[in-house]
Amino acid sequence: MYRYDEFDHQLVAERVEQFRGQVERRVSGELSEDAFKPLRLMNGVYLQLHAYMLRVAIPYGTLSSRQLRKLAHIAREYDRGYGHFTTRQNIQYNWPALARIPDLLAELAEVEMHAIQTSGNCIRNVTSDQYAGAIADEIEDPRIISEIIRQWSTFHPEFSYLPRKFKIAVTGHAHDRAAIKLHDIGIVIVRNEAGEIGYEVHVGGGQGRTPFIAKKLAEFVPKDKLLAYLEAVMRVYNMLGRRDNSYKARIKILVHETGEEEMRKLVEAEFAQIDASKMLEVPQAEIDRITRYFEPPAFETLPAESAAFNKAQADDAGFAQWCRTNVVAHRQLGYSIVNISLKPIGGVPGDATDVQMEAIAELAEAYSFDELRVTHEQNLVLPHIRLDDLKAVYDRLVTHELATPNLGLISDAIACPGLDYCNLANARSIPLAQEISNRFADLDRQYDIGELKIKISGCINACGHHHVGHIGILGVDKKGTEFYQISLGGSADEHASLGDITGRAFTEDTIVDAIETLVETYVGLRHADERFIETYRRVGLTPFKERLYAE
């Protein structure tokens, strides 16, 4: 895994001490809140409804056991015994006291973690496929280029004052698990006809109040020219992006207003200049150096089949079911990828206790080469588990209520913190996810319904990705009362699409019934083996709408 070099260490340590001084001056009254607020936001400290919130970056979603243990320790010592894994592959703590945050950050720095680039108008931490380096048919581990981008963008002087925050995601696999088309820049690692590896670059995706699917600006950027191309995109954005109105400042608006063709021309002109200067060619030695950090772990040579695994499945139906839903084929024979659901039936999506985090860290250490991943769907992943060890891992997960076999099903909803915590919220999101999960608690019913992605946001900022939910739910406020608007047919994968709003919003008392009506409508309309999203794309909004608003 990537380790900070000396420079980074010093830099992060200095940032912590700087922040300690700033907090002291704020508490003594020397600094006003106006002066202090941007400083605390730069360090990942937000004010929520009941307390401060600290957001800790987990770059491209990769964690070691040592890091997860530290996160558990922080949950216990500085917070209320839990953390919340978010759709940005971050963890958030909901209750830290301001005066103790510098100590907390110093502890994080001990395990090479920080809260930099989790806030502000900079290039935010790069997100990537949670199955990186583990999934079969991957063209290249996306974390290599993610790390190169991270190093290029962190504290890049030209990019520390962008018109608005900037989010980049990378996938190395044809099946997109990183929602790359909903990022300011989305990168797909591809192979051309000559067999060379390069990058497809999508620009201008985003959610929030004006959602857009990114436009593919480049089909194939050669490997050594990616930073030059990205720099070109950033320059065009920096020059032309709107700074007059924060709602119109994201690059998606620039791409939309400029038009795809014109935008491509502008970027290519800029790219030609940078490319000619050769300033940003990444030296092969540097690529090799970073690549080594992501070298596959020392896998054993194992047979494709495991007798112990087969027997355990035959003996334990619960285990067999969990394997079907939560375990994914690995690139290496005899290994598998394990998804740990943080969506127990009726639970809070994405929350994990200190004890659970420690148990997971232990499993990663014992069975998964010390590696863990965080997914943007608010679950965790043990990326490299031997088939022989699956039963032992499962049994431990069961003990800690971490073995819910519901990945990709209706109870695996994502939800932003909403009005239970968030200062910007219009309505609660978490209780809705819980009620839906309880309504569809029967697993057999969930399996019959099949893949169905519900995504819930408590306001139009769309932190809960509602625009791209197969069923999206958006909380709205009417005179201090919560209402919920439904959209259908969104998707965040390689066939990304934005949902269609059904119409009039529902109350807290009627929204879960409405979801059930939609599910029943789908079950009635589907062809054999058709997923919800496929049925929706075939029949369109009308039949759903008719049932939903029939008196």
Site residues for ligand SF4 per CB under 6 A? 416-418, 422, 424-425, 457-459, 461-464
Q: Give the span between the Cα atoms of 167 and 447, in whole angstroms.
A: 34
Q: Which of the choices ligand SF4, other proteins, ligand HEM, none does residue 95 contact, using the CB cut-off of 5 to 8 A by kind?
A: other proteins
Nearer to ligand HEM, 208 or 543 (CB): 208
Nearer to other proteins, 26 or 465 (CB): 26
- State which of positions 67-96 bind other proteins (CB under 8 A): 80, 95
- State which of positions 419-438 bind ligand HEM (CB under 6 A): 422-424
Nearer to ligand HEM, 4 or 95 (CB): 95
The first and second tokens of residue 154, run together, are: 């962190």
Nearer to ligand SF4, 397 or 456 (CB): 456
Smallest distance from ligand HEM to CB 86, Å: 3
Q: Which of the choices other proteins, ligand SF4, ligand HEM, none does residue 458 contact, using the CB cut-off of 5 to 8 A by kind?
A: ligand SF4
The first and second tokens of residue 522, run together, are: 């789908």
Place of tokens 């500085």: 78
Q: Give the span between the Cα atoms of 523 and 502, in whole angstroms.
A: 18
Smallest distance from other proteins to CB 338, Å: 27
Residue 166 touching ligand HEM (CB under 6 A): no
- Whether 33 and 25 have beta carbons less than 8 Å apart is answered as no
Smallest distance from ligand SF4 to CB 37, Å: 17
- State which of positions 383-412 bind other proteins (CB under 8 A): none
Smallest distance from other proteins to CB 45, Å: 10
Residue 120 touching other proteins (CB under 8 A): yes
From the list 458, 465, 414, the residue with the least C-alpha distance to 208 is: 465
Smallest distance from ligand HEM to CB 89, Å: 9
Q: Which of the choices other proteins, ligand SF4, ligand HEM, none does residue 208 contact, using the CB cut-off of 5 to 8 A by kind?
A: ligand HEM
Nearer to other proteins, 25 or 531 (CB): 25
Backbone angles phi, psi at 178, to 5 degrees: -110, 10
H-run or E-run covering 245? none
The first and second tokens of residue 361, run together, are: 């860290």
Residue 214 touching ligand HEM (CB under 6 A): no
From the list 118, 334, 145, the residue with the least C-alpha distance to 230 is: 145
Neighbours of 304 (CB within 10 A): 7
- Whether 168 and 183 have beta carbons less than 8 Å apart is answered as yes
Neighbours of 176 (CB within 10 A): 20
Please report the DSSP string for 267-283 in residue order: HHHHHHHHHHHTTTPPP
Give the angle 156-157-162 at the CA atoms, nearest 5°: 90
Q: How far apart are the first and last CA of the chain?
A: 57
Q: Can you give the length of the chain in residues?
A: 551
- State which of positions 392-421 bind ligand HEM (CB under 6 A): 416-417
Residue 438 touching other proteins (CB under 8 A): no
Q: Choose the binding region for other proteins from 50-58, 286-294, 357-365, 400-408 (rule: CB under 8 A).
A: 50-58
Nearer to ligand HEM, 144 or 182 (CB): 182
Residue 459 touching other proteins (CB under 8 A): yes
Q: Choose the binding region for other proteins from 36-44, 149-157, 307-315, 333-341 (rule: CB under 8 A).
A: 36-44
Residue 121 touching ligand HEM (CB under 6 A): no
Residue 420 touching other proteins (CB under 8 A): yes
- Angle, helices 260-277 vs 251-258, to 10°: value is 110
Between the alpha carbon of residue 183 and those of residues 72, 142, 496, the distances in Å are: 30, 15, 12
Residue 535 touching ligand HEM (CB under 6 A): no
The first and second tokens of residue 309, run together, are: 């695994």
- State which of positions 475-514 bind other proteins (CB under 8 A): 477, 479-482
Q: Give the span between the Cα atoms of 456 and 436, in whole angstroms.
A: 11
Nearer to other proteins, 303 or 480 (CB): 480
Applying CB under 6 A, which of residues 208, 222, 297, 344 lies at the interface with ligand HEM? 208
Q: What is the contact mask toward ligand HEM in residues 5 to 44, using x (rule: CB under 6 A)?
A: ----------------------------------------
Between the alpha carbon of residue 441 and those of residues 400, 507, 517, the distances in Å are: 19, 22, 16
- Whether 334 and 302 have beta carbons less than 8 Å apart is answered as yes
Nearer to ligand SF4, 424 or 523 (CB): 424
Binding residues for ligand HEM, rule CB under 6 A, total 22
Place of tokens 């608010």: 378
- Whether 401 and 109 have beta carbons less than 8 Å apart is answered as no
**Using alpha carbons only, how large is the chain's radius of gyration in Å?**
23
- Between strands 168-171 and 127-128, the pairing is parallel
- Give me the residues that bind other proteins (CB under 8 A), please: 26-29, 32-33, 37-38, 41, 46-52, 80, 95, 97-99, 119-121, 164-165, 209, 246, 249, 348, 419-421, 423-428, 430-431, 434, 459-460, 477, 479-482
